[in-house]
Chains A and B, each alone.
Chain A
Amino acid sequence: MPEQTRAQRTLEHAGTAQAVELEAEGTSATFRVDGHGGSLCWIEGADGQLRVHWGEHSTFAYLRREGDTVWVHLDGATHRFTIPAPGARPRAGNASGPEPEVRAPMTGTVRRIQVHAGQQVEKGHPLLALEAMKMEHVLKAPAKATVETILCREGETVDLGSVLLRLELDPAP
């Protein structure tokens, strides 16, 4: 008899966090997420492909965990989930206003830094230019601010999400 396992796991997708309650036994599981309960079962193929069944529905899936990222391909669509670090609060959305940390929106090379520490910038002032795959992307000041620290160098390759410079935002008028 396969062992029954209970677990609760919080995941994030596109900035939304959800807690999933699980009860798994062998190749089937029941779950509850966002007030919705259900059950599913699967058959594993040789190349890692799964055939997943729930209710009348039958589809194929691929699953993979890579560090704190979980990839799910289901019903022809690929979803990327992240496992939040223990104790971390979900990232604030745009509604909370401009952030003092300017992050790389893509992995790329820093082409030009167009400001210096201590410089005052208006909203929309170009801060630096990133280049990836022949495409240049200019990062602009999200609001009136003073450049506090520059944390990258021209020519440096930076990863998606890394902090490139820190601003001191002017208090709103």
Chain B
Amino acid sequence: MKREPFKTLLVANRGEIAVRILRGAREAGLRTVAVYSEADRTARHVLEADRAVLIGPAAARESYLRVEAILEAARRSGAEAIHPGYGFLSENPRLAEAVEAAGLVFVGPPADAIRRMGSKSEARRLAEAAGVPVIPGYDGDEQSDARLLDEAARIGHPLLIKPSAGGGGKGMRRVEAGDSVAEALAAARREALSAFGDDHLILERYLEPVRHVEIQVFADAHGNVIHLRERECSIQRRHQKVFEESPSTALDETTRRAMGEAAIALTRAVGYRSAGTIEFVLSPDRSFHFLEMNTRLQVEHPVTEAVTGIDLVRLQLREAMGEPLGIAQQLVSGRGHAIEARLYAEDPANGFLPSAGRIVLLREPQGPGIRVDSGIVEGGEVGVHYDPILAKIIAHGDDRKQALERLARALAETVVFGLATNLGFLRAVLASERFQRGETYTNDIDTRFDLESARAIPGPEAWALAALTAEGLAPASRVASLSPGATFPADPASPWTALHGFRLGAEN
């Protein structure tokens, strides 16, 4: 895979992660190119780049998910390297291959590593071969009913059936003692085929209670591989992470070292480059098992950046230019404690369904130990087409207690008017005794937190202020004057014939 210095970087993503990568690229002195769909003409990431190219209509499969559109945008804008961010095409080996074939640099792992880790059965086999503990299960190619039923009986209950091509918990099925395994297998096959076009299944023992602990790894083209400690991501809601922190309250130094060594062994085995994450489940007896590898920069990477002091995006850019890592394992240490909360456009009072609307007031928190990675602006529209993540709020402190205090202060200072968000829910989980004690397991939010209590009940003063505002008797907060529907110079011609975008700054 091509590794050489470049001067212009295209970021094939949107939202907060595009903004974060564009900032890193600007710090490195690179020219930056953003891509955007018709729904994102005035989006924050578009304004962060030196140049922006329209790549298609709002629907992601006609814009951010089109490999050809991304490559065409790179050609038009003279970009020599492409960073995929997370989601969209980041774990699609076709993008990595196409970038390579076009003679450009892909800021990420080799296509082959993406493909092999994208298959859950092959990832399991690779891990086993590298001496990494895997959950007792079956990952073979023989997929006959008889064989799978035999293996299921051997593994025992509770059993987890997973599509080999899946990810993010999609299409997984849990089978309890007494349930029909044959029926579950048939249903899982149908689902896997319709969702992923591949009905290959793997079987695993369903372990619980478990914590979700992941190791950040980094590899260069010169054979150097390091790990950058762990992130604890146990607080999830329906397989969606909500809080992530480092260090994990459940790891001792011995387990941390063993997990780190296992992660490095697997990273080497798959011929990895750039930033990646190896996910493990950790049981109460401190045994751990390989779950999967994410072959991209993670949403929660700022947590690692805070505790290690290492900028992962800058490191990715350097690695992509062919430079050696330059950081020995023994120089990676953790300072203090960091925790991230994900701000989502979803409504806890409405079954956590996505919400949409124009942001009429936005105040992001600041101050000691607080970092905000945000993809939204006041006056901007939050649509229904993409992932509901709006921003991430990361707190860093000398210890867990201080990090939690800082995060609580920052969440109370965060104001989003115009659409429902999960802010109240984040505050309630953070304030809960279980969370404060650090005793968190992956099924906690679904089973142990009282979601009703997450609803803030307005007191008489809130009613009074609302009535004063309705009557025009209290000063309503002013809002930035981006009129609804304001647009930036748009391409006059069809996006399919002229992908020339517009320019900002001194280039024109």
Q: Which residues of A contact B (CB under 8 A)?
A: 5, 7, 9, 11, 13-14, 18, 20, 22, 24, 29, 31, 33-34, 36, 38, 40, 42, 44, 47-50, 52, 54, 61-66, 70-81, 83, 105-109, 131-135, 137, 157, 160
Given A7-B467, A70-B466, A132-B353, does the pair A108, B476 have CB atoms closer than 8 Å? no
B386 cross-chain contacts in A, Cβ below 8 A: 133-134
CA distance A135 to B427 in the complex (A): 24
- Closest-CB distance, A55 to chain B (whole angstroms): 10
5 A–B contact pairs at CB < 8 A?
Answer: A11-B466, A33-B463, A63-B476, A83-B470, A132-B354
Q: Does B190 contact A (CB under 8 A)?
A: no
From A11, A24, A40, A160, residue with most partner B Cβ within 10 Å: A160
Given A62-B361, A66-B360, A73-B417, does the pair A79, B468 have CB atoms closer than 8 Å? no
CA distance A38 to B479 in the complex (A): 29
CA distance A44 to B475 in the complex (A): 7
CB <8 Å contact, B420 and A157: no
CA distance A64 to B480 in the complex (A): 13
Closest residue of A by beta carbon distance from B385: A133
CB <8 Å contact, B417 and A62: yes
Range for the number of chain B residues in contact with chain A: 35 or more
CA distance A108 to B66 in the complex (A): 22
Given A44-B475, A105-B353, does the pair A62, B464 have CB atoms closer than 8 Å? no
Contact of B465 among A5, A72, A133, A134 (CB under 8 A): A72
CB <8 Å contact, A106 and B354: yes
CB <8 Å contact, A66 and B474: no
- Closest-CB distance, A23 to chain B (whole angstroms): 10
Extra 14 A-B pairs, beta carbons < 8 Å, given A29-B474, A63-B465, A134-B386: A14-B455, A34-B463, A36-B460, A40-B465, A47-B477, A52-B461, A63-B477, A64-B476, A66-B360, A73-B415, A77-B427, A107-B384, A133-B388, A135-B353
From A7, A36, A44, A63, residue with most partner B Cβ within 10 Å: A63
- Closest-CB distance, A143 to chain B (whole angstroms): 19
> Which residues 450-508 in B have Cβ within 8 Å of A in the complex?
455-456, 458-479
CB <8 Å contact, A48 and B475: yes
CA distance A105 to B460 in the complex (A): 29
Contact of B476 among A18, A65, A109 (CB under 8 A): A65
CB <8 Å contact, A9 and B460: no
CA distance A9 to B470 in the complex (A): 8
Number of residue pairs A-B, CB distance < 8 angstroms: 186
Contact of A48 among B385, B465, B477 (CB under 8 A): B477
Chain A contact surface mostly: strand
B415 cross-chain contacts in A, Cβ below 8 A: 62, 73, 78
CB <8 Å contact, A40 and B417: no
CA distance A70 to B465 in the complex (A): 10
Q: Does B75 contact A (CB under 8 A)?
A: no
CB <8 Å contact, A13 and B458: yes
CA distance A76 to B407 in the complex (A): 12
Q: Does B387 contact A (CB under 8 A)?
A: yes
B459 cross-chain contacts in A, Cβ below 8 A: 74-75
CA distance A14 to B465 in the complex (A): 17
- Closest-CB distance, A76 to chain B (whole angstroms): 3
- Closest-CB distance, B472 to chain A (whole angstroms): 8
A5 cross-chain contacts in B, Cβ below 8 A: 471, 473
CA distance A137 to B345 in the complex (A): 16
CB <8 Å contact, B384 and A74: no
CB <8 Å contact, A54 and B461: yes
A20 cross-chain contacts in B, Cβ below 8 A: 463-464, 466-467
CB <8 Å contact, A38 and B467: no
- Closest-CB distance, B454 to chain A (whole angstroms): 11
- Closest-CB distance, B348 to chain A (whole angstroms): 11
CA distance A11 to B471 in the complex (A): 11
Closest residue of A by beta carbon distance from B356: A107
CA distance A42 to B464 in the complex (A): 12
